[in-house]
Amino acid sequence: MIDQIRVNLYRNSYTIYIGKKLLDQKSLFTLVFKKKNNLIITNSTIKDIIFKKKNDSLFKIITKIPYYIIPDGESYKNLCEVEKVISFLLKRSYGRDLNLIALGGGVIGDITGFIASIYQRGVSFFQIPTTLLSQVDASIGGKTGVNHILGKNMIGSFWQPNGVLIDLDFLSTLPKSHIISGMAEVIKYAIIFDYKFFCWLEKNILQVLNLQEKELLYCIKKCCKLKSMVIEKDEKETSLRMFLNLGHSFAHAIETYSGYGSWLHGSAVSVGIVMAAQLSFYLNILSKSELLRIIKIFDSSGLPIFGPKNMLPDDYLELMLRDKKVLNKVIRLILPISIGQVKVFPSIDKDFLFNFIKIYQKKIYFFGLR
């Protein structure tokens, strides 16, 4: 069985395929590799897994189709690596008929998509996400880019893929920590859009973490449907898509401060969403009971709920003021007002935010909740 979800964007429409052993299907193989000038971009970890023949389909493919290896890790998501790939393409005279295939997690997807958007003013690319985080979030929606030393994802573009192939078999090769990291984005969707999904996760999150096929498939499909709905209504993030940034202002500050790759993205997002929920409670918006449920679901998943011990309130504010969501030096935050509903707060006072972070960092039992 192959599930299909259509992302309707007029000329940029494409399909998300979800299932197992997808590239064994001749129709999907032809769809991805129909052009002559294909190039797979992957990382060193995925390459090692493939050449150990842990995935027979990919072993057969990658021995016939050219590939380019980027070192594994968030620290390589930068313009230096982009220039290396583009030099590789130019030296081998790849033209505008090039088709790039992003085989990897969010880092590979972001870099490949960005290169596809700028190489000779745009070439096609496919997403084959291999991590839970990229399967439920990063591979869908056309956000591409790289990090700058002063801020995460500060250089990029919107460039939709020609399709997304989500193969559940990849997840069995991941370390447990990466499965747990991906759950942060899953929980994010429930908090933003769907109270019933949140309740479902409270009951089934361990089955998903243990890669039980029925629950895992439902979870991934649910997230893909929610993100597709958002992208169709707001492709370039001018309104509804902004909600997907819940917790990310805090999270990106943590990742930038710590050095890219020191914190898994999902771990930083977990802390960021907990901070956003606590801030909402601090503002007398989110109820005590719902805050506790949000904290508990992250904590019970094995995700962190506190940021780096040595990161000061000034560090958060300095980095958050460089965030893409800041307008006229005013910090805008997405905060939950209940489970299943969020709101943009367009002008959070810096002094108020500073005092909130000080209280949060003292771990005063979540403002008396424990």
Domain range annotation of the chain: 3-173, 176-368
Q: Is 227 a catalytic residue?
A: yes
pLDDT at 368 over 60: no
Number of Cα atoms under 13 Å in the Cβ half of residue 264: 22
Instruction: Output the pLDDT for position 328.
Output: 67
Annotated catalytic residue, options 47, 77, 222, 248: 248
pLDDT at 28 over 70: yes
Annotated catalytic residue, options 55, 77, 245, 290: 245
Annotated catalytic residue, options 64, 91, 121, 362: 121
Q: Is 245 a catalytic residue?
A: yes
Annotated catalytic residue, options 43, 47, 77, 143: 143
Bridge-based pairing state of the strands 38-43 and 67-70: parallel
pLDDT at 296 over 90: yes
Q: Is 232 a catalytic residue?
A: no
Q: Is 215 a catalytic residue?
A: no
Bridge-based pairing state of the strands 143-148 and 151-158: antiparallel
Q: Is 368 exposed, middle or buried (0-12, 13-18, 19+ CB in 10 A)?
A: exposed
Instruction: Output the pLDDT for position 362.
Output: 77
**Rounded to 10 degrees, what is the CA torsion of 114, 65, 169, 164?**
40
- Tokens matching residue 256: 């930038």
CA distances for 64 relative to 59, 89, 125, 166, angstroms:
9, 18, 18, 22
- Tokens matching residue 283: 């503002």
Annotated catalytic residue, options 152, 188, 252, 325: 252
pLDDT at 271 over 80: yes
pLDDT at 89 over 90: yes
- Average pLDDT of the segment spanning 319-324: 84
Annotated catalytic residue, options 38, 265, 290, 325: 265
What is the rounded end-to-end Cα distance, in angstroms, of the chain? 46
- Average pLDDT of the segment spanning 199-212: 98
Block residue for tokens 């367009």: 346
Distance CA 252, CA 250 (A): 6
Q: Is 350 a catalytic residue?
A: no
Annotated catalytic residue, options 237, 255, 290, 325: 237
CA distances for 272 relative to 56, 248, 266, 357, angstroms:
39, 6, 10, 11
Q: In CATH, which of 3.90.1170.50, 1.50.10.10, 1.20.1090.10, 1.10.150.20 is domain 176-368?
A: 1.20.1090.10
Among the listed ranges 129-143, 255-269, 351-365, which one has the minimum average pLDDT value? 351-365
Distance CA 58, CA 104 (A): 12
Please identify, in words, the CATH class of the domain defined by 3-173. Answer: alpha beta
Question: What is the value of pTM for the model shown?
Answer: 0.94
Distance CA 192, CA 79 (A): 32
Distance CA 256, CA 319 (A): 8
- The more confident residue out of 366 and 344 is 344
Distance CA 208, CA 221 (A): 12
Annotated catalytic residue, options 152, 188, 227, 325: 227
Task: Return the closest-CA partner of residue 142 out of 112, 186, 182.
Answer: 112
Annotated catalytic residue, options 74, 77, 185, 215: 185
Distance CA 157, CA 110 (A): 10
Q: Is 178 a catalytic residue?
A: no
Q: Is 143 a catalytic residue?
A: yes
Q: Is 248 a catalytic residue?
A: yes
Distance CA 23, CA 43 (A): 19
Instruction: Output the pLDDT for position 348.
Output: 86
Instruction: Output the pLDDT for position 329.
Output: 74
Instruction: Output the pLDDT for position 288.
Output: 92
